Amino acid sequence: MSNVTIKDLAKLSGVSLATVSRVINQKGYVSQELSAKVLRAVEETGYRPNQAARSLVQRRTDSIGVIVHNLHDPFFYDLLRGFEQAAAEISYNVLFASVLGGDTKSKEKYLQYLSGGVVDAVVMYGSYMSDEEMLRCASPSSSVDYMLIENDIQGFKCNKLLINNVQGAYSAVEYLMGKGHTDIAHICGNPNKKVTIDRLNGYLAAMRDKGLEVQDGYLQQLSADYRNGYARMKSLLALKNRPTAVFCSDDAIASYAVRAALDAGLRVPEDISIMGFDFQTNLPERYRGPDLTTVKQPLYQIGFDSITLLAGQLKKGRFDQPERKVYDTQIVEQETVCGPCR
């Protein structure tokens, strides 16, 4: 039968609509005899509940929306695995919305759509500073919970999962110093991202605290495109006092910095050391260089935790005190750093 309704089930099983509803929704007492009749009718008709109608009645969709920038970016591989694994374990649906670049209008459109009863909660990944005004002006439904990953907007009351980016960058400089480097440059990331500023501040703080000079030309700023890491590295290599080590704001940038050094005829790390940030499993554009020494942030764990935390809150009802969790980083020593050769 097609388009089977609970009225059909009630007629076929010879019970009331209320009894059918209690059996299907597993709420309220029904005798084993009546329950068996309803379940037999469900099996015979192939009945499937109308999820949209159920959501309207229960005011719950058992779904969580996730908004990210550039879902196709290899960076998101481990994060998405975390989202999906958690959703599978707790039987929640996850809806992904992908926004190209820093397109705030598209993000706002998705935010309004998802928070309009499509999902129970919305996760927003990314530290774009341009998101602040949009979030402050948002008028979300009172039934929708929010979580920000990597964005700590002051005064915006919601769950926040954050990385200690300042300390991570600081530890990267300490690590390079421990290998004997004192001429350490930095290639910054997208200037519209809070993580870029945090990692720059961590680099500067470590250089200052350790008494190292940030020499002219040692700070190289990218546009929004990580592929510009190639050109920024070429600029560093052209300096009269070329750095012996380069700390990059993320692994994608570092992968292009390595390509630039290799194309210039240099050996990595024997002639110049290069370090990234993120411990990105899949690097862009079929990177074939040495494995990057990097600062690891637990992307899979963050994705997993975001879904399980929200699902737990949703099952308990609206939360009074949002969660704010800061994740530590760790150095992953691989193939792109050694001591200076000069």
Return the pLDDT at 128: 85
Strand partners for 98: 68
Average pLDDT of the residues of the chain: 87
Q: How far apart are the first and last CA of the chain?
A: 80
Tens digit of each residue's pLDDT (9 = 90 or more) over 123-132 = 999 888 888 8
Tens digit of each residue's pLDDT (9 = 90 or more) over 50-91 = 544 444 344 567 889 999 888 888 888 899 999 999 998 987
**Residue 2 predicted with pLDDT over 60:** no
With 0-12 CB in 10 A as exposed, 13-18 as middle and 19+ as buried, what is 186?
buried
Contacts of 9 (CB under 8 A, 6+ apart): 20, 24, 38, 41, 42, 45, 47
Return the pLDDT at 76: 87
With 0-12 CB in 10 A as exposed, 13-18 as middle and 19+ as buried, what is 238?
exposed
**Residue 340 predicted with pLDDT over 50:** yes
Q: What is the pTM of this model?
A: 0.80
Return the pLDDT at 123: 93
Q: Hey, what domains does the chain have and what are their CATH numbers?
A: 6-49 (1.10.260.40), 63-164+299-328 (3.40.50.2300), 165-297 (3.40.50.2300)
Tens digit of each residue's pLDDT (9 = 90 or more) over 13-53 = 888 888 887 777 666 788 888 888 888 888 888 776 654 44
**Residue 139 predicted with pLDDT over 80:** no
